[in-house]
Amino acid sequence: MNQQLVIKNLAGIFQKCPVEKIQIYDTNITIIIKNSCLKNVLFFLKYHILTQFKILTCISSGDYPAKKYRFKIVYELLSIRFNTRLSVKISVYELMHVDSCSSLYSSSSWYECEIWDMYGIFFKNHPNLKRIMTDYGFEGYPLRKDFPLSGFIETKYNETQKRVINEALEFSQEYRTFNFLSPWGDKVI
């Protein structure tokens, strides 16, 4: 499908939900929209005769803690009819919810559970939002940049009790920074 035709149709249709930005790199088209318009835009892209993005191939997320809207969620769509791929991006912050698109694309259910488990982004109206990657009772969201690298709980085998125990992790010293000169120049490591 011609990229100009896709962009022209997108610009004309999204009057209620304006597109914030359209990015084109090589043959990849990315549209950036507001979170509130997500479900309407995905509905249009799936069912309009000139787009027909019937397959959701992936939903991924990233964490950018320095930004106000720290989480970016990317929906990757595929139109077999026109042999075209399209990315739809939204940005949310920690307390915002995202409308679940599991009623439009059944494949999104697993991806939304994964993003909920790893980042803590809540998907409203999801039929079965649960943790699928971490263990029962796990606290926190491991792919957030502010999650500690060592976690909060230490699991180890206790020889005297003859069983596996979970203990709160304690650090024996404060975090320190090490400013050493690099052997390859005057750069501080």
pLDDT digits 0-9 by tens, 86-107: 999 999 999 999 999 999 999 9
- Cα–Cα distance measured from residue 38 to residue 34, given in angstroms and rounded to the nearest whole number: 7
Q: What is the pLDDT of residue 124?
A: 95
Are 48 and 9 spatial neighbours (Cβ–Cβ below 8 Å)? yes
**pLDDT (mean) for 1-22:** 67
Lowest mean pLDDT among 59-63, 92-96, 142-146: 142-146
The pLDDT score that the predictor gives to residue 33 is 93
- Give mean pLDDT, residues 106-133: 94
Q: Where are the domains of the chain?
A: 3-124
Do the Cβ atoms of 55 and 111 come closer than 8 Å? no
Return mean pLDDT, the chain.
Answer: 85
Between CA 143 and CA 134 the distance in angstroms is 11
Q: What is the mean pLDDT of residues 127-154?
A: 83
Q: Tell me, what's the pLDDT at 172?
A: 60
- Return d(Cα 89, Cα 28) in angstroms, integer: 13
Who contacts 89 (Cβ-Cβ below 8 Å, separation ≥6)? 30, 31, 32, 33, 72, 73, 74, 75
Q: What are phi and psi of 126, to 5 degrees?
A: -80, 135
pLDDT confidence of 137, banded at 50, 70, 90?
confident
Q: What is the DSSP string of the chain?
A: --HHHHHHHHHHH-SSS--SEEEEETTEEEEE--GGGHHHHHHHHHH-TTT---EEEEEEEEE-TTSSS-EEEEEEEEETTTTEEEEEEEEE-TT-EEE--TTT-TTHHHHHHHHHHHH--EEET-TT----SSPTT--S-TTSTTS-TT-SEEEEEETTTTEEEEEE---SS-------B-TTSS-B-
pTM (two decimals): 0.76
CATH of 3-124, one of 3.30.70.1710, 3.30.460.80, 3.40.50.150, 1.10.3720.10: 3.30.460.80
pLDDT of residue 90: 96
Q: What was the pLDDT predicted at 120?
A: 93
